Amino acid sequence: MKTNSNSLPDINNISPSIKQNITDGEIVSNAEKEVVERFADGNNDKYGRFFLAALSAVPWFIPLSIVANLKGEFDQDGVNNALRLWIRENQDALSDLTMTVNEMLTRLDGFGAEIERRIESPEYLALIRRGFRTWNESETQEKKLMIKKLLTNAGAINLCPDDQVRLFIDWIERYHEAHFAVMKEIYQNQYISKGQIWDNIHPEGRPRDNSAEAGLFSYLMRELNTGGIIRLKRQVNNQGQTLKSKRTSSGGSNKSDVMESPFENNKKWELSELGKEFVRYVMEDVDPQIS
């Protein structure tokens, strides 16, 4: 089997008869046929590499060049029946993947030829493979949309170093949608308290301080704080150095006999610079108006 420099299968190894059967719609639907048409277009190599990088990241995908090699061992009807069975079992997943990649390429097309070198680079194709592994394992559409937006921005603009893109992919994989809801509230409402965050996400009201809901909320805030994504409001000088907070003496008569509430309203929270970049370029409906 022929491979390119990225160890990806060569779509041109598909025999003309199998390729014609596929593109004629005998084996797959119109949605899946777009994958083969892009592969079969020798003048559109950048998209072929892009598709191969994305498809090679999902374990359920059968490379079409492997299907082509089956031609020498099985009769045409056997190969076609195997493909029909595989498509039937993976139809929803394949349609979702095809639609996602096509939407990404449609947007990348709008940026012109200046990004062609970026799309073809081994570094970007490595991000595509890494990102689509996480995309395939994501159980919610929200995470899949975040991966799509991040990878598209990483190809279209000088978003940030590739190492940072990989870090953002790790965050999408690691954190839960509840984490992202907290990030979004802090991004949209700078210097917000825990109580305000809860009230905006859960307008139905606050639970007891010793409830499981309060414990989960405290856990989310603690994880984001420890991960360097959010922090307490801080003052910085012109050089970006953090100023020490001034201590205030508290009178004994003002001391409370209860622990601080998980929904306190005195301390103000903000996103770190890294957290701001993550929310700005990755999260849904917080678009940075990229030109």
Q: How many CB atoms lie within 10 A of CB 96?
A: 16
SS (H, E, C) the chain: CCECCCCCECHHHCCHHHHHHHHCCCCCCHHHHHHHHHHHCCCCHHHHHHHHHHHCCCCCCCCHHHHHHHCCCCCHHHHHHHHHHHHHHCHHHHHHHHHHHHHHHHHHHCCCHHHHHHHHCHHHHHHHHHHHHHHHHCCCHHHHHHHHHHHHHHHHCCCCCHHHHHHHHHHHHHCCHHHHHHHHHHHHCCCECHHHHHHHHCCCCCCCCCCHHHHHHHHHHHHHHHCCCEEECCCECCCCCECCCCCCCCCHHHCCCCCCCCCCCCCCEEECHHHHHHHHHHCCCCCCCCC
Give pLDDT tens digits for 76-112.
555 566 666 666 666 677 778 888 988 888 888 777 7
**For all residues of the chain together, what is the average pLDDT?**
76
Report the length, in residues, of the chain.
291
pLDDT band at 211, cuts 50/70/90? Answer: very high
Query: Are the beta carbons of 263 and 209 closer than 8 angstroms?
Result: yes
pLDDT for residue 80: 60
The CATH architecture of the domain made up of 177-237+259-282 is Orthogonal Bundle (1.10)
pLDDT for residue 43: 45
Give pLDDT tens digits for 23-41.
444 444 554 555 555 554 4
**Range(s) for CATH 1.10.10.10 in the chain?**
177-237+259-282
Give pLDDT tens digits for 106-164.
888 777 777 788 888 899 999 999 999 999 999 899 999 999 999 998 888 776 889 99
The larger pLDDT score, comparing residue 176 to residue 28, is at: 176
Which pair of tokens denotes residue 142? Answer: 């929200």
Give pLDDT tens digits for 267-282.
999 999 999 999 988 9
The larger pLDDT score, comparing residue 155 to residue 17, is at: 155
Q: Evaluate if residue 206 carries a pLDDT over 70.
A: yes
Q: Evaluate if residue 15 carries a pLDDT over 60.
A: no
